[in-house]
Structure 1
Amino acid sequence: MNYKVITISREFGSGGRTIGRKVAQELNIPCYDSELIQKIATESGFSPEYIQEASEYSPSGFLSAAFSNRAFGPSNEDYLWNLQYKVIQDLASQGPCVIVGRCADFILKDTTECLKVFVHASLKFRSKRILEVYGQREQSIEQRIKDKDKRRSAYHRFYTNMKWGHAQNYDICLDSGRLGINCCVQTIIHLYNNNEQPQ
């Protein structure tokens, strides 16, 4: 029995989004990344920009505010988390696909037909790639990396109580800097096509 869904979790700048899209293209299956934000926006009525900030890219003050707001009942962020949970499960139930980020590895953890991937790379590799893809900004590249990874880790831990990037939470962890983007793509495709589920 082959894997049905591939989830891609990734460090900022490691190329995880690119890897996910290339995998989906070669397997001829859908890839959900920014599309998830749009689907959640359509169902919630919130703007895509707000959803992006309140989820994986939450601002530094969001988590502490979320903790305090919970004393008064579920927050907007809690509502969006529950909606995100539902949207990802619905998409996974529709057929083979690749889902990038959004804690999909946790949301689908009880799905037997799910290949959970974590993509990481050295600071040097990520810094070079971010400069090439996003260009220079006022904030240093190194600080941008630290801020993005910190937010992703904090958000993931807040809603899943799991350690983001911890190898035991994934089926495979790939160093895109050492292996290269294309090698990561082909490794994932090989695992997807040749997996045999235990009896």
Structure 2
Amino acid sequence: MDKYVITISRQFGALGRTIAQKMAAELGIEFYDRDIVEHTAKRMGLPVSEISKEEERAGGFFAERRYPLGMGPVSMQEELFQVQTNIIRDFASKESCIIVGRCGDYCLRDMERVLDIYVYAPIEKRVENCISILGMDEKTARGMIQDVDKARENYRRKYCKDIAGIFDNREICIDSGKFGADTSADILCGVVRSVFY
């Protein structure tokens, strides 16, 4: 079977990363998320510990979710995005895999055999997920949802200039609040099999 790539973008608290992990396990393919950050640090000659220290200084445990890599000073932003794009393309050219976030759909827009997925959920379901899974209180959860969604939207707008809306350049959008993580992963794996197998 020829290799294929799935990109998953998501709203904060919609369980997109969890769904991606479940899909990777079910399909027997690689899953890349924080690995992209680690490879970026390596290529740029920056230890991951340095990035982690900066994230902690920027706002504590959830800072990495609030301020994605690439939202710092302008020249650094451009370099980070380009390095990340190259890493994502390297992963995609080697093997079947799932790429989570970091504008993966845009980075791979000219490649064949790519399926771009967007995971969303109603706000109340996302708040519930943040409280029950991430251990946040309700006020923190609502603030994080607002901040992270805005940061992701700004990041996408900045680097994906020819994409107008949040659903553009995505073939499948799924409401994880309606289906839950397990069923969402099963549905999406079914689509992947029908398209690529």
TM-score by length of 1: 0.83
Equivalent position of 1:101 in the other structure: 101
C-alpha RMSD of the superposition:
2.6
Residue 114 of structure 1 corresponds to 114
Q: CA deviation at 1:146?
A: 0.6
Q: What secondary structure is seen at the aligned counterpart in 2 of 1:6?
A: strand
User: Retained in 2: the 8 A contact 1:37–1:48?
Assistant: no
* Contact 1:3 1:115 (8 Å CA) reproduced: no
Aligned to 1:69: none
Residue equivalent to 1:39:
39
Q: Please point out which of 58, 65, 68 is paired with 2:67.
A: 58
In 2: Cα distance, 1:140 partner to 1:56 partner: 13
Secondary structure of residue in 1 paired with 2:9: strand
Partner of 2:4: 4
Query: Percent same amino acid at aligned positions?
Result: 33
Looking at structure 2, the residues matched to 119 and 32 of structure 1 have their Cα atoms a distance apart, in angstroms, of 16
CA distance in 2, matches of 1:87, 1:163: 25
Q: Is the partner of 2:112 in helix, strand or coil?
A: coil
Structure 1 stretches of at least 4 aligned residues deviating more than 3 Å after TM superposition? 50-57
- Gap regions ≥5 residues in structure 2: none
The alignment status of 1:142 with 2:151, answered yes or no, reads: no
SS of equivalent to 2:133: helix
Give, in whole Å, the separation in 1 of the partners of 2:37 and 2:165. 21
Q: Distance in 1 between matches of 2:123 and 2:33?
A: 23
Correspondence 1:1-199 to 2 at 5 A: 4-46=4-46, 47-49=50-52, 50=54, 57-58=66-67, 62=71, 66=74, 75-136=75-136, 140-161=140-161, 162-163=163-164, 165-166=166-167, 168-195=168-195
Unaligned residue ranges in structure 1 (runs of 5+)? 67-74
* CA–CA distance in structure 1, aligned partners of residues 139 and 39 of structure 2: 31
In structure 2, relative to structure 1, the CA distance for the partners of 1:2 and 1:122 (3 Å cut) is: farther
Q: Does the 8 Å contact 2:117/2:172 carry over to 1?
A: yes
Using structure 2 for the length normalisation, give the TM-score. 0.84
8 A Cα contact 1:37 1:51, kept in partner: no
